[in-house]
Every structure is written in C-alpha cells, then in structure tokens.
C-alpha cells in the first residue's frame, strides 16, 4: 500500500506496547477489522513521533484463501483510521517484494519559515531571521562525501551500522511562498533514527554563524552525537519519497 499521514496525532510509525497510538497500529487495527483476521504490516521505514509522510509504502501478507478487491481498501481504511492517514492505493506484488529491504532510496524534506505564516505555522519550523543558506549548502555538500553518520544518530539504537550513502543534500527556496519558506531535501539509501533532524539542527548552527563549515566537517569526523547540534522539531519533517527497482 502507498499512504500519507500527518504525524502529529501519533507516536511515530512503529507499533508500541501499551496501546500507544502509532500509524502502524492504526492501520493494522483497521485492516484486521475489514479482512476479519489479524493482519501485520511492514513499513519502508520508521518515522519518529510527530514526523509526517507525504509517501510511505507498506506491505502485508495474506493467505491464498483470503480474497478482496484491492481498490476498495483505501476508502474502507480511511473510514476507520480517520483524516490523519490517507491510503492512496493498494495493489498486489510479487512475494519477494519487501517494503523496507527492496527500497533503493528515501528522500526527506524539512521545511523552514523565514517569516511567520498563518497557513504554514503548524507544518514548518519558524526559523530565526537572516540564516546564511549559502553557508548551510556548503556544509550540506560535505554530507554527500560522508559515509559514517554516527554524529547524527540517536544514541543506543539497535542498528548494526551507522553507514549511509547520501546522494543529495540541498537547501532551496519553496516556490509560491514569496521567499517566506525554504526546504532542506536529503536523499540516501537509508537513514538512522533522528538523523535528518540532527543534520538540520547542525546546519542551522552554521546558518546562524555559530559554527563554520570547517567545524561542521569536524563534527562529522568526531563520530560523536554530542558534537552535533540539537534535534529539530518533528512537525516540519516529511518522508517525501521512496524509490524501488
């Protein structure tokens, strides 16, 4: 299935014990009610509490004897999950397709307002004035030549490696906002927990003149989360795209 969601009502994507509201648990509950049997779904990644997704992909397996019309599921699911989740389409795939492991890249966008807006305040971060986006982009280009992202990873996670391959990292103005908003777009084969928000927080330190591009490079080399900037608010972060072969 391909879906989108507003992350503000949820404690992230992944199901958690204790009945905590997550996107995964909401979808599994809805699917189980519609198909009248327990259904487990696997997402292409795990977004943190409050993080949004313009595009998320998930898969689920069903026994051969369960038949249904895939085109009817998006509307049925929406009636149960509510307006914060929109399932855009559901379709059959080969048995070896895996929403997470078959993906070849993910793209995130982080939106920053350079002046307050009544329309976007809850969807973007309000930045301090006079950020130096040119310096931030010089620093961002270092990410393309980086492989170890330990400095930007949440501590004590269960991942086996902090190696990621970033192919694109750029700040650019958002069209149709009259110069009132910028976005940071980053694409990689995989992302660590909290990685994008930590990267953006450290780039903002460069934009505010509190860190030089050379010091940003030293943060990367340190392989120490304490060397990087603070984690940015989640409401302005969006999982924007996922690619598959």
Instruction: Specify whether the backbone of 178 is left (phi greater than 0), alpha (psi in -120 to 50) or beta.
Output: left
Question: With contact defined as beta carbons under 8 Å apart, do 183 and 170 qualify?
Answer: no
Is 241 an active-site residue? no
Residue 120's nearest CA partner among 182, 188, 32 is 182
Instruction: Give kind and range of the element (H or E) at residue 81.
Output: helix 73-81
Side-chain-side CA neighbours of residue 235 (13 Å) = 10
Catalytic residue among 48, 132, 224, 241: 48
E-strand spans in the chain? Answer: 2-5, 41-43, 52-60, 85-89, 105-113, 125-126, 166-173, 181-188, 237-243
Cα 223 to Cα 217: distance, rounded to the nearest angstrom: 11
Question: With contact defined as beta carbons under 8 Å apart, do 53 and 27 qualify?
Answer: no
Helix, strand, coil in percent for the chain, rounding step 5: 30, 25, 50
Residue 32 phi, psi (nearest 5) = -65, -35
Q: Which residues are catalytic?
A: 48
């Amino acid at each position: 299935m391909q879906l989108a969601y507003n992350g503000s009502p949820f404690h992230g994507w992944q199901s958690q014990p204790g009945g905590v509201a997550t996107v995964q648990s909401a979808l599994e509950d809805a699917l189980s009610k519609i198909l009248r049997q327990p259904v487990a779904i696997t997402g292409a990644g795990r977004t943190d509490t409050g993080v949004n997704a313009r595009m998320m992909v998930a898969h689920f397996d069903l026994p051969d004897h369960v038949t249904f019309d895939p085109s009817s599921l998006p509307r049925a699911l929406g009636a149960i999950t509510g307006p914060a989740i929109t399932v855009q389409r559901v379709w059959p795939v080969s048995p070896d397709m895996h929403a997470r492991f078959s993906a070849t890249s993910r793209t995130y966008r982080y939106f920053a307002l350079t002046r307050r807006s009544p329309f976007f305040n809850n969807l973007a971060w309000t930045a301090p004035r006079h950020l130096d986006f040119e310096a931030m982009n010089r620093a961002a280009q270092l990410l393309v030549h980086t492989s170890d992202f330990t400095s930007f990873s949440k501590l004590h996670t269960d991942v086996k490696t902090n190696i990621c391959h970033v192919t694109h990292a750029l700040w650019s103005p958002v069209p149709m906002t009259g110069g009132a908003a910028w976005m940071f777009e980053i694409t990689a084969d995989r992302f660590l927990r909290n990685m994008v928000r930590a990267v953006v927080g450290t780039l903002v330190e460069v934009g505010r003149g509190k860190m030089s591009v050379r010091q940003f490079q030293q943060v990367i080399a340190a392989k120490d989360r304490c060397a990087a900037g603070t984690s940015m608010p989640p409401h302005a972060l969006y999982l924007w795209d996922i690619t598959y072969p």
